[in-house]
Amino acid sequence: MPMNGKDNLEPPQLERRHLTVLECDLVGSTALANNLDPEELRDLFLAYQDCVLTWVKKMNGFFVQFAGDAIWVYFGYPQAHEDDACQAIRAGLAIAEAVSAITVYGESLSVRIGIASGLCVVGNMRLTTSSGNMDNQITALGNPPNLAARLQALVEPGSVAISEETHSLAGNLFNFEDLGFYEIKGFRNKTKVWRVIGEINEHSRFRALRPKIRTPLVGRKNELKILANLWKEACLKNGQIVFLSGEPGIGKSRLVTNLAENIVGLKNLQWWFHCGEYLQGSAFAPIAAQIQTLTGLSSTEDRTGRSGKVSKQFSYLNTNEHYLLAELLMIEDEKKLSTSVISASKRREKLYEVLIKMIKEESQIEPLLVVIEDAHWIDPSTQEFIQRLAICLNNMSVLLVITSRDTSNFEMSDFALPHTHNISIEQLKRSDCFKL
């Protein structure tokens, strides 16, 4: 290939990555093409593509290409995240539901989605010239793209099929249907296939991702003893706050899970607020998720059913307080209550009061463990709620545990209270690594 001053060739940018690949296929595209005028078909495809791309963006996926009626998306490229497989599944479920709600020129739409995870070579497969003719040739080579394409053909319209490796990475965060083993063209061995039914609201993400028996906890005796003593103090209505900080993967969640299971005990009340990298712009998202878990809310229930569950779970709240909680949970409510004329800032202030009241009431029943996981990703609204809660803990039976990679999101002066403690999780000693 000739080289000159205008066409200086660059080496392709390729790298080995563990990817989760999502392939979304429009059901019945041939029939749609026969039923519609080409311009109408264009409008239909645009509506379908826009819907899918909206959810891909929300779930931090990387759009690769349109291929006829199929759409390809990578999770784990160009940036990798610890929950790429879970985000791909969430995207698949959301896309399947959203597309099924689309009707264009009297035609209802539906998709099949396949998701597979594994090692790939990914990047720009072609040499790029200064003319730009080879731009954006991002492709992944490996089993996942091929398997994802095959998996989607095995399930009914509106369904999400995933591979065994994706299923393993998702842990117990979702409900699955075991579809058994299939002989898939091009694959030497039979392939285990799962269909995703829906997401589970789990108190502890660590437990959900690691449901099997774990190895003994080693090297954290001192930290666990401090947490146990703080729990005893909290049980005596001397509310306590502890910041648990350390680098990623060092064992913060494992330590808190051990506290919850072996010291607090699952019979006691536990509220877990999970902050997420993708939720930093969503006000109160960790709080709303926890309340949904406590009440057992389901997206398939109507407004009356969901509102009734909230009222039953938190019977000590008055009508206006229930309304504010329903707003937080995005439960439609047609009633015109007095709060509806209050400004947005006042409503937020009232909501803070309601949330603190809920924790106070629950802790009077029995001591309460409140865990804020991954606070380095906390949204400003949840952060302000935690700061307000901290001031009120003096006479409450609450142990508030905040895990974070650092404490930069919180001004420590805001927590200059006698019941505030800091535990920095350090690396294990070499001798601990040999303990059984």
User: Which pLDDT does position 339 carry in this prediction?
Assistant: 47
Give residue 109's pLDDT: 92
Place of tokens 């066409």: 7
* d(C-alpha 179, C-alpha 155), whole Å: 9
pLDDT, tens digit (0-9, with 9 covering 90-100), for 212-245: 546 677 778 888 899 999 999 999 999 999 999 8
Nearest to 19 by CA among 70, 84, 67: 84
User: pLDDT higher for 247 or 219?
Assistant: 247
* Residue 56: per-residue pLDDT: 93
Is the Cβ–Cβ distance between 326 and 318 less than 8 Å?
Answer: no
Classify residue 430 by burial, with Cβ atoms within 10 Å: 0-12, 13-18, 19+.
exposed
Q: Is the pLDDT of residue 43 over 70?
A: yes
How confident is residue 417, by pLDDT bands cut at 50, 70 and 90?
low
Whether 398 shows a pLDDT value over 60: the answer reads yes
Summarised one tens digit per residue, pLDDT across range 359-377 is 999 999 899 999 999 888 8
Count of alpha carbons within 13 angstroms of residue 191, beta-carbon side? 24
Q: In sequence order, which ranges of 59-123 are alpha helices (DSSP H)? A: 84-100
Q: What average pLDDT does this structure show over 54-65? A: 91
Number of H helices, E strands in the chain: 13, 15
Residue-wise pLDDT for 158-205, tens only, equals 999 999 999 998 877 888 999 999 988 888 889 999 999 988 765 555
Arithmetic mean of pLDDT over the chain: 83
pLDDT tens per residue across span 287-322? 988 888 888 776 666 777 778 888 888 889 888 888
Q: Which residue has the higher pLDDT, 23 or 319?
A: 23
Q: What is the pTM of this model?
A: 0.69
130 pLDDT band (50/70/90 cuts)? low
In sequence order, the 6+-apart residues with CB closer than 8 A to the CB of 129 are 6, 7, 8, 9
Whether the predicted pLDDT of 434 surpasses 80: no
Closest CA relative to residue 401, chosen from 295, 271, 213, 251: 271
> What number is the average pLDDT over the span 128-143?
70
Domains of the chain: 14-126+135-200 (3.30.70.1230), 206-434 (3.40.50.300)
Share of the chain above pLDDT 90, in %: 39
Higher pLDDT, 187 or 337: 187
